[in-house]
Amino acid sequence: MIGFGKFVCMMAIALWAVPAGADEVPADAVGFTVFLAKAFQNAQPNAGVTIAGPLHLTIKQNGETWETYLYTIYSYCLRNSKDLCAEAVALHVEEIAASC
């Protein structure tokens, strides 16, 4: 387990390093978290999406706050093809965004 300070540093590097138009879902936990944060933000432009930790996002909208943990979808992506992962991520983002 990494410390929170090191995680924040890694997140800053990942945000800088991931191209804005990248369509491929990253295989590392930090990149995956950043990718999903951007995807949720794009799906819900009026929501506030923040990275709370590795594979953990906080989404705030309309005075409510949701915690979303990405462990299950990340595990699915590690075990399946890039295409299946991309489809599952798109569906996950769509379903979570619809519930917010």
Domain total of the chain: 1
Q: What angle do CA 90, 51, 78 make, to 5 degrees?
A: 45
pLDDT in tens, 8-55: 444 433 443 343 444 689 999 999 999 999 999 999 999 999 999 999
| Domain that residue 87 falls in | 4-18+27-99
Structure-token pair, residue 24? 């491929």
Q: Count Cβ neighbours within 10 Å for each residue of 66-95 and write b for 16 or more, e otherwise.
A: eebebeebbeebeeeeeeebeebbeebbee
β-strand partners of 59: 49, 66
| pLDDT confidence of residue 36 | 96
